[in-house]
Structure 1
Amino acid sequence: MVTALLFGSMIVFLAIGVPISFTLGAAVMATIFLAPDFTVSPGIIPQRIFGGLESTSIMAIAFFVLAGNIMTKGGISSCIVEFCNSIIGNIRGGMSLVLVLACAFFAALSGSAPATVVAIGVMLYADMVKLGYPKKRVAGLLVVSGGMGPIIPPSIIMIVYGTITGASISKMFKAGVGIGIIIMVILMAVCLFYAHKEQWPKNAKRISLKEIGSSFVHAIPAILLPVIILGGIYSGLMTPTESAAVAVVWALVVSLFVYKEMKVQDLWQIFLDSAKGSAMILFIIATSTAFSWIFAYSGISGDMVAFIKGLNLNPTLFCILIALLLLAFGTFLEGIATCVLLVPILWPLAHVLGIDIIHFGMIVCIANVVGTMTPPVAVDIFAAASVTKLDMGDIVKGEIPFFIGYVAVYFAVVLFPKVTTLFL
C-alpha cells in the first residue's frame, strides 16, 4: 500500500504538470496521511528536508552556478573561443571543431549543459551560419557538445551523486575528465566526416604563429580558471567546495579588472540569476531526501534489494538494465531530479552486486546528460532553440549523427568499467 501511494501519487502529480520538487514533497505527505498503519509524524519531514542540505559539498553547487554566470557575462568564454579558433580554425569544417573544443573548455568552467549551449551558441552560431555551415547541423552539434558540461568537471550532477552515495567527488571528476576527452574526440571525428561529405566551409584566412601566440596570451587568465579549479582539487589543497569559491573570486577579478567586460552594476542581476538557479537545484535535493527516507523507512528499498539478489543478475546485465531505465527517465525528468530520485534506490542494488561506485556514478551522470538531448524535456534542445530560433524537430534531425556518437561512448562506459577506472 505504501509503495502504491508513494509512486502512484508521484505519477499523478507529474502527469498534471506539478514541478518535480513539489511533486516529491506532495507524494511524501500523501503517503504519511493516507497510508494505513504507517505511523510517521509529519514533523519528521521538515527535519529530513533540511537535513538533506546539511552538506558542505552541496555548497559547491551554488558557487559553480555563480562562477558560470560570471564567466558568461565577463568575457572569459569569448576569449576561450578566440583561442580555440586560432588553433584549428583553418581546417575544413574548422569552426565546428572550434565549437566542440570551446564547449569542452566552457564545460570545465561552468559544469552545466544548458549554460554551455547558450554561452557558446550565442558566440558561434550566427557566424557559422553566415560562413555557410548548415543550420540544423550546427544546432544539433551545439546540443550534443553542450552535453560535455556535466561530464567534464566541475560537474554539478557529480557533486549531487557524491553527496548521495558518499563517492569521492575528486575521483568522479578524474573519471569525468577522461570520458569527456573521449566524447570530444568522437564528436570531432564526426564533424570531420560530415565536413568533407557535405563540403562545409574552410577558413580562407591563414592564421600566423604570432596571432596564435597573441590569442594564447590574451586567453591565459581565462585558461587559468579550470587549472585553478581542477588543480586545487586533484592536488588535495582544496575541496570541491573551496575550489568553487576560489573560482568565483578569480572569475570576478578577471571579468572586472582584466577583460573589463563586466561592470559592478552588472553583479546584482548575476547574483539574482545565480540564486534562482541554485535554489531550484537545492529545492529538488531537499524534497528528494524526504522521498528517499520514506522509501527506505517503509522497507521498499530492502524488498527491492532482495528481489534483485534473487534474480541472480550479473553486474554487466544489471548495468545495461539500469542504463536503459535511466535513459527512459531522462526523457521526461530533469537530470538532477532523476539522480536524486533514483540513485538512493539503485545504488544499494549496485553495491550488492559489487559494482564500483565511480563506474556506477558515471553511468548515472552520462545517462542524465543524454536525457537533456532527447524530447520531451530536452533542456539542451530548448536552450539551443532559444539561440538558433529553429524548431525543435529541425534541431533533433541535425543532432542525430552526433547523438549516436555520444550514446556509443555511453554504452562503452556501461559495458566496460575499465573505460571509467582507466583515468583514476
Structure 2
Amino acid sequence: MSTVAIAILATFLISMFGGVPIAFALGLASVLGLYMADFPLVILAQRLIAGTQSFSILAIPGFILAGDLMMHGGLSRRLVKFCQALVQHVTGGLGMVTVLSATFFAAISGSAPATTATIGGIMIPEMEKRGWKRDFSAALSAASGPIGQMIPPSIPMIIWGVVAEDSINQLFLAGIIPGLLIALGLMLVCWIVARRSPHIPRESRATRKELLDSLWAGKWSLLAPVLILGGIYGSVFTPTEASAIAVFYALIVGLFIHREMKLAALPSIVMAAMRTSAIVCFIIGIASAFGWLVAIEQLPSAIASGIMSVSTNPIVILLILNLFLLFIGAIMDNIAAMIILGTTLSSIGAQLGLDPIHLGAMVVINLAIGMATPPFGYSLFVASAISGQSIERLSVALWPMLLVSFVVLMLVTYVPAITLFLPSFIR
C-alpha cells in the first residue's frame, strides 16, 4: 500500500471518528491525497461534478420529495390505520402495525431514515399508550426503517446500479423477498415480546366495517406503490420518470383528494426535500472523487486481495465480506460506502463468481442493516431523536431485531435464489 493511500485512509478515519461530517472527511482526505500525489486540485471539482452526472441519480430527489409530500398529505397516516385494522387483534399486533406500515411506506419513500421518522412518529406514542415499552417501540421503528432500503423504489439500489452499472429494475426486484423476510422476522419478535409481557393487552379484532372503511380511506396510499412499481415493470416509464410521477401523484392526492396539504406549505416541504437531496448528492459527488483517488492508488485491489487471501473457501470469504460490510454500514454513510468500495466489491464478486445482482442485493442489505446498527446508524439516531431514548437504551432493545436481520442476511448470502428469483423474470 502506497504512502498516499495510507495517508488518505488515515486522514479519513481520524476525521470521521473525530466528529467531522463524512462528506467533509472525504473531502479533506481527497485534498491531501491529490496534493501528495502531485495532482492538480481542480480534479476534485471535476470528479465531484462527474460523480453526479447520471440520469438515474435524478430519481433520488424525486423520491425524497414524493415521500415528504405523501407524509404531509396524509397518505402515511392512512397506511398506518389500514395496517392497524388488519392485524391489531393478533398477539403483538400493534408492534406488527409498525412493521407493516414501514413496509408499505418503504414502497413509497425508498429511504430508511424517512421511513423511521414517519412511521415512528405515529407509532411510538401509540404503542407506549398501549403498554409497550418506549425503548422497544423506538428500536422497532429503527429496525423497520431499513426495509425502506430493500423494498423498491430503493435509493441505495439506484446508487449501486449507477456505481456497478447493473440493471436498477433487477436490483429493485432483488430486494423484495429479503425485505419481506425481515418484516416477517420483526413481526415474530413482536409476537414473542407480547406473549412474554402480560401488561401488553390484546386488541379486539376490527369489525368488517372498520376494515373496509380503513381500506377505502387508504386506497390512494395503497395505490401509490402499485402505480410506481407497475409503471416501472410494465415498461411505461423508467425509475427516474417514476419519481416524477410519484411527486405529481402525491401533490394531487394531498392537495385535491385528501386536502390535508395546503399550497402555503409547499415551499417549506420542497425546501426540506432540497436540503436532503443536496446532502445526498454532495456525498455522492465527494465520495466519487475520493473513490477515484483510492482507485488510482490501488487501495481497492489491496483490500480485495487481503480479503481473498484469508481463505480459499467461498463460504468463509462470503462470511468475512458480510462482517466487513456490516462494520462499514455501522460506522459510515451507505451511499459513500457503496461509491468508495464499489470497485473492490465488484472485483471480489467476480472472483467468487457471484451474480452481479446477487452481489448488489447483498451489499445494499448489509449497509441497510447498518442503518440501524450502533454506533452511527442513521435510523438509530432518528429513532432516538423522535422518542427521547438514548442510543444506549435503544441498542439494548435492538439486539433481537438485529439478530433477525442477520439471519435473513445469511440466507440471502448463501441462497442466491432469494434475490435472483424475481429478477429472473425480466432478464
Q: State how far apart, in whole Å, the 1-side matches of 2:241 and 2:271 are.
A: 21
For 2:348 and 2:186, the matched residues in 1 are separated by 33
Tell me the residue number matched to 1:203: 203
C-alpha distance 305-87 of structure 1, shift in aligned 2 (>3 A): closer
Structure 2 contact 78–221 (Cα < 8 Å) conserved: yes
Superposed CA deviations along residues 87-113 of structure 1, whole A, max 9, x for unmatched, are: 111222211111111010011111111
Which of 322-331 and 70-79 deviates more? 322-331
Aligned to 2:68: 69
**Contact 2:189–2:401 (8 Å) recurs in 1:** yes
Corresponding residue for 2:238? 239
* CA distance in 2: counterparts of 1:351 and 1:316, whole angstroms: 15
Q: Aligned-pair RMSD on alpha carbons?
A: 1.8
Greater shift, 46-55 or 136-145, is seen at 136-145
Identity of aligned residues (%): 35
Distance, in Å, in 2 between the alignment partners of 1:356 and 1:166 is 13
Residues 307 and 321, structure 2, Cα contact 8 Å, conserved in 1: no
- Report the Cα offset of residue 341 of structure 1: 2.0
Residues 43/179 of structure 1: CA separation in 2 closer, same or farther (3 Å cut): same
Q: 2:101 and 2:269 mapped to 1: Cα distance?
A: 22
The 8 Å contact of residues 117 and 142 in structure 1, kept in 2 or not, is answered as yes
Maintained 8 Å contact 1:315/1:353: yes
Question: Cα distance, 1:17 vs. partner?
Answer: 2.4
User: In 2, Cα distance between the equivalents of 1:201 and 1:179?
Assistant: 31
Tell me if structure 1 keeps the 8 A contact 2:143–2:402. yes
The 2-side partners of 1:388 and 1:306 are apart by 44
Structure 2 residue aligned with 1:266? 265
1:18 to 17, 20, 44: 20
- Aligned letter for 1:202? R
Superimposed CA distance per residue, residues 271-302 of structure 1 (whole angstroms, 9 cap, x where no aligned partner): 11101101111111101111121222234445
Aligned residues: 420
- 1:82 is matched with 81
Could you report, residue by residue, the CA deviation over 1:67-91 in whole angstroms, capped at 9, with x for unpaired residues? 1111111100001111111111122
8 A contact 1:154–1:230 mirrored in 2: yes
Contact 1:315 1:355 in 2 (8 A): no
Residue identity opposite 1:287 in structure 2: I
- Say whether the 8 Å CA contact 2:300–2:341 is kept in structure 1: no
Name the CA distance, whole Å, in 1 between partners of 2:45 and 2:124.
46
Separation of aligned partners in 1, 2:131 and 2:258: 31
2:307 and 2:317 in contact (8 A); partners too: no
TM-score, reference length from structure 2: 0.93
In 2, distance between residues paired with 1:303 and 1:289? 19
Kindly state the Cα deviation for residue 309 of structure 1 after the two structures are TM-superposed.
Answer: 6.2
Deviates more, 1:390-399 or 1:248-257: 390-399
What's the CA shift for 1:348?
A: 2.0
Distance across 2 between alignment mates of 1:418 and 1:383: 33
Work out whether 1:132 is the aligned partner of 2:131.
Answer: yes
Deviations 1:234-289 (A, max 9, x none): 11221110111100100111011111111011111111110110111111110111
Distance in 2 of aligned mates of 1:170 and 1:9: 37
2:338 equivalent in structure 1 = 339
Separation in structure 1 between the aligned mates of residue 302 and residue 334 of structure 2, nearest angstrom = 26
Aligned position for 1:318: 317
Amino acid at match of 2:136: R
Within 5 Å, give how 1:296-315 maps onto structure 2: 296-302=295-301, 313-315=312-314
Moved more, 356-365 or 162-171: 356-365
Indicate the larger mover: 133-142 or 108-117. 133-142
1:414 aligned partner: 413
Find out whether 1:118 has 2:117 as its counterpart.
yes
Q: Which residue of 1 aligns with 2:227?
A: 228
CA distance in 2, matches of 1:80, 1:164: 33
Deviation at 1:374, TM superposition (A): 1.9
2:33 is the alignment partner of 1:34: no
Describe the SS at the equivalent of 2:320: helix
Q: Deviations over 1:337-369 (max 9, x none)?
A: 222222232212322332111111111111112
Contact 2:373/2:402 (8 A) holds in 1: no
For the Cα contact (< 8 Å) 1:136–1:394, is it kept in 2? yes
Task: Structure 2 unaligned segments of length 5 or more: list them.
Answer: none
- Whether the aligned pair in 2 keeps the contact of 1:86 and 1:215 (CA below 8 Å) is yes
Q: Quick one: structure 1 residues 359 and 296, their matched pair in 2 at CA, closer, same or farther if it must change by over 3 Å?
A: same
Contact persistence 2:308–2:317 (CA under 8 A): no
Contact 1:372 1:378 in 2 (8 A): yes
SS at match of 1:150: helix
